[in-house]
Amino acid sequence: MKAKSAWANHNWRPRVGWGVPVAWLTLCVVWSSTWLVIKTGLRDLPPISYAGIRFLLAIFVLLAVSAGRVRMLPQRGSDYAVLAFTGVLMFAVNYGLLFWGELHVSSGLAAVLQATIPIFGMLSAHLLLPDEPLRLQKLLGAMLALGGVAMICERLLGFSGLMAFWGGLGIVFGAAGAAFSNVLLKARVIQLAPAMIAAWQMIFGAAPLLVTGFLVEGNPARFHWSALSIFCLLYLAVIGSALTFLLLYWLLPRMTVARLQAISLITPPGAVALGWAIGGETFSLWSLLGACFVLAGVWMIFRRAEASEPVIQEG
């Protein structure tokens, strides 16, 4: 979701103060919590419209904080096509499948399955980015992580039913789309502020979600708008989307890539812990073992990748 130009040219590093660790910890906590918040909101709201309204609200927040501070429009007409394609992959396909998938799998397992983004990103980068070849360690990490995904999906199929299996598989498919979106955007190098790149992607991605939701799930005015569902929606839009994007882009020139990448390894265990402690979710030892394989494989992909772009995953 981030263009290389937005951060790669920073050859200075501001003095690190207390704000940096606070922002980093905030990202870890918020992105660990979004999975359970999605699951909770799904008790009252249908998944496609839920995701679309989330990003519609986040768009307004990003535009409000960016107006008058950065350029709002891309420089080239072709940039709109790239933002549209990547926005549909990232927000319509990825999050549409994620919200739907969480109807059938636990929030913790959804976070683990979404953590496969770096695996597909590595494969896409090998094809589209000449300076990021596929190396043996990364390939072994991908095989280990995919083995963990297979263990989780086998457990879902055997003990949770066919819909849980398809829900888990849908989340993985969405992660592949998000990864390809990240790599394509990096290869294109759009000269635009990162917050506006995210806003334009959300605009193009939210539109099909809202239209599909209206056709399939009905008029949002007739949804069951409980106080809890409204809280979940606002939390995901303002805290889980707009605030976290702004914090992430503020941290990019102030932290090493390796430390930023660590967020993607911390949030799945955090989501599992919150799902267990607050959401009452339970996990089999087989699923937890598969989750460990996924995270170990992702760590192998990230290891010694300090010169690469961070792959950040959030719910």
Is 6 within the bounds of a domain? no
Tens digit of each residue's pLDDT (9 = 90 or more) over 7-25: 444 444 445 567 788 888 9
Q: Is the pLDDT of residue 141 over 70?
A: yes
Choice between 3 and 292, residue whose per-residue pLDDT is larger: 292
Residue 258 is predicted with a pLDDT of: 59
Q: How far apart are CA 234 and CA 56, in angstroms?
A: 11
Is 295 within the bounds of a domain? yes
C-alpha angle 62/255/110, rounded to 5°? 60
Is 125 within the bounds of a domain? yes
Is 282 within the bounds of a domain? yes
Cβ neighbours of residue 308 closer than 8 Å, sequence gap 6 or more: 132, 257
Per-chain mean pLDDT for the chain: 83
Average pLDDT over residues 58-85: 89
Average pLDDT over residues 74-92: 92
Q: How far apart are CA 126 and CA 264, in angstroms?
A: 21
DSSP state of 6: G
Q: Is the pLDDT of residue 147 over 80?
A: yes
Choice between 50 and 72, residue whose per-residue pLDDT is larger: 50
Q: What is the pTM of this model?
A: 0.84
Alpha helices in the chain (DSSP H): 19-41, 47-66, 77-87, 95-101, 107-114, 117-128, 136-155, 162-188, 194-217, 227-234, 244-251, 257-277, 285-302
Is 30 within the bounds of a domain? no
Residue 173 is predicted with a pLDDT of: 93
- Domain containing residue 278: 35-302
Is 180 within the bounds of a domain? yes
Is 121 within the bounds of a domain? yes
Cβ neighbours of residue 191 closer than 8 Å, sequence gap 6 or more: 3, 5, 74, 75
Residue 11 is predicted with a pLDDT of: 45
Cβ neighbours of residue 204 closer than 8 Å, sequence gap 6 or more: 83, 84, 87, 88, 91, 92
Q: How far apart are CA 314 and CA 115, in angstroms?
A: 9
Residue 314 is predicted with a pLDDT of: 65
Tens digit of each residue's pLDDT (9 = 90 or more) over 155-164: 777 666 788 8
How many structural domains comprise the chain? 1
Q: Is-contact 237 58, C-beta < 8 A? A: yes
Tens digit of each residue's pLDDT (9 = 90 or more) over 271-303: 888 888 888 887 777 778 888 888 888 777 767
The percentage of residues in the chain with a pLDDT greater than 70, rounded to a whole number, is 87
Average pLDDT over residues 181-196: 83
Q: Is the pLDDT of residue 313 over 60?
A: no
Average pLDDT over residues 252-272: 75
Give the tokens for residue 178.
């998000």
Residue 39 is predicted with a pLDDT of: 95
Is 11 within the bounds of a domain? no
Q: Is-contact 251 194, C-beta < 8 A? A: no
Lowest mean pLDDT among 146-150, 165-169, 299-303: 299-303
